[in-house]
Amino acid sequence: MGQDTLLLIYLGISLVIMLGLVVKFKINVAISLVMASLFMGLASGLGLLGTLDGISQGFGGLMTDLGIPIGLGVILGKLISDSGGAYSIAEAILKRTNEKWALYSLGIASFVLAIPVFFDVAFIILVPLAIQLGNKINKPLPYAVGAIIIGAAIAHTLVPPTPNPLAAAGILDFDLGIMIVVGVIVGLLGTLCTVKIYFMILDKGFWNKDTDEDATMENPYGTMDIPENRPSAFLSIIPIVLPSILILFGSFGNVFFDENPAIITFLSDRIVALLAGTIVAYFVAAKALNKNKRDLSSSEAMQAAGIVLLITGAGGSFGTIIKSTGIDQAILNIFVSDAHSTISVLLVAFFMGVLFRTITGSGTVAGITTMTIMAGVSAGVDVHPVWVAMASLSGGLMLGHVNDSGFWISTKIAGLSVKGGLKTYTTSEAIAGFVVIIITIIGAHIF
């Protein structure tokens, strides 16, 4: 048996270890990732100290790039959410549309909100609006719920400053501004196309109200206190777009200067950009929240960020250990017979992302681990790394199910049965993953 095959077998065993710890023994995903990393490093010959060094370097390297930006991004989103600004944005988008396009606008509203906030927060904010909208235009529950899931899942997966797309530029070594532009364009196209396809499936009788909705739930549509004096949609969207504008300054500067002036490099740094957005969010939130409430909101955001950072860092450790074993070359040798085959590399990244997402239930783990492995693979292929990132992340969109917290949040808050959750959360995200990889393959061949 060749060394390449052995490495893939060890990877498979490490994934089984991770899955067993998470599913069977209910161990935290971060701890399970470290355990899987230990096995992978030792089995593949990195040695005791080499394995420990790989785990430390993988965690520390990712936190160096992402620790502060992720924390700032979480605070920004929490302030906009708690002040009612996110609700104002969603309401403004829905008011500016007619009945024919109302559900598509709901998907776009969900996409916009999920850029600064986590999937579950965007979902909770939009569900009450979605239910009202569905009743108004006489559409069954899954139409509105599906539109929210699609928009939020795609934005959370593809558009910085959420952890995966924020990490993509550093892992695959390309300009973060490119990730923002491509993520937004592909994400918006993907959202509209996925919503259309999902609605076509629902139109064919895919939904059964009797078995797919849970009539026993007392309060199925969630609760969120929206301040009466919340900031306007215009004010609320400024902290969201400001970091992207500053980061893009650096990208545009590269076009006009051989080397960006220090001021442009400073302002376009992800830490400075997100710090600026967070400071603006703090002042925007002042319309609805006093100082103590804003401080409390920031503190709660940091508690939530701690979990995200731990899982993200552990995913970086696992990815670094895997990369250290030389498995990227093994993948090229076994799966990519032509090292210049763009579509082969993109499909390998896609299906690897699907595998990690299905097993771990975490899109963050799936995306970061896949991109880390593919960083070495993509170096020998004539394709811009942003498309490798998009392929990896589109795989991480796929097949979220009962081992995914997002599945239970959307299922229980929307008042669905488990079967209904599979028909909304799992099915819509599966369609989204396929749509995004198709757009990615097309984009990689055009650009």
Provide the residue-wise pLDDT of the chain in tens; the chain has 447 residues. Answer: 677 778 878 888 887 887 778 767 778 777 888 898 899 899 988 889 989 998 898 888 777 777 788 788 778 878 887 888 877 877 787 777 777 788 888 898 889 888 877 787 777 777 777 777 777 778 888 888 899 999 999 998 999 888 888 889 888 888 888 999 999 999 999 999 999 999 999 989 888 888 877 765 544 444 556 777 889 888 988 888 888 888 888 777 766 777 778 888 898 887 888 899 899 989 999 988 888 989 888 888 887 777 777 877 887 788 788 778 877 667 666 665 554 578 888 998 898 888 878 776 778 778 888 888 888 777 667 788 999 999 999 998 987 776 676 787 777 777 788 788 888 998 999 999 999 999 999 999 888
CA distance 73 to 391: 24
Q: Assign 3-class secondary structure to 181-224.
A: HHHHHHHHHHHHHHHHHHHHHHHCCCCCHHHHECCCCCCCCCCC
Q: Which two tokens stand for residue 47?
A: 């040695």
pLDDT of residue 179: 92
- φ/ψ of 340, rounded to 5, equals -105, 15
CA distance 371 to 382: 17
Task: Provide the sign of the torsion angle of the four alpha carbons 55, 270, 93, 286, taken in this order.
Answer: positive
Q: Which two tokens stand for residue 234?
A: 């215009």
CA distance 214 to 118: 25
CA distance 336 to 5: 14
pLDDT of residue 189: 96
- CA triple 227-94-247, angle to 5 deg: 80
Q: How many CB atoms lie within 10 A of CB 219?
A: 8
pLDDT of residue 155: 92
Kindly report each contact of residues 6-11 with a partner whose C-beta sits within 8 Å and lies 24 or more positions away, as own/partner: 6/44, 7/44, 7/325, 7/326, 7/327, 7/330, 8/327, 8/330, 8/331, 8/334, 10/39, 10/40, 10/43, 10/44, 10/325, 11/40, 11/322, 11/327
Task: Please confirm whether the linkage preceding 140 is cis (ω < 30° from 0).
Answer: no
pLDDT of residue 3: 75
CA distance 385 to 381: 9
pTM of this structure: 0.78
Q: Are 350 and 395 in contact (CB under 8 A)?
A: yes
Residues 6+ apart with CB under 8 A from 212: 142, 416, 417, 419, 420, 423
Domain boundaries defined on the chain: 3-446
pLDDT of residue 218: 47
CA distance 94 to 241: 19
CA distance 279 to 297: 13
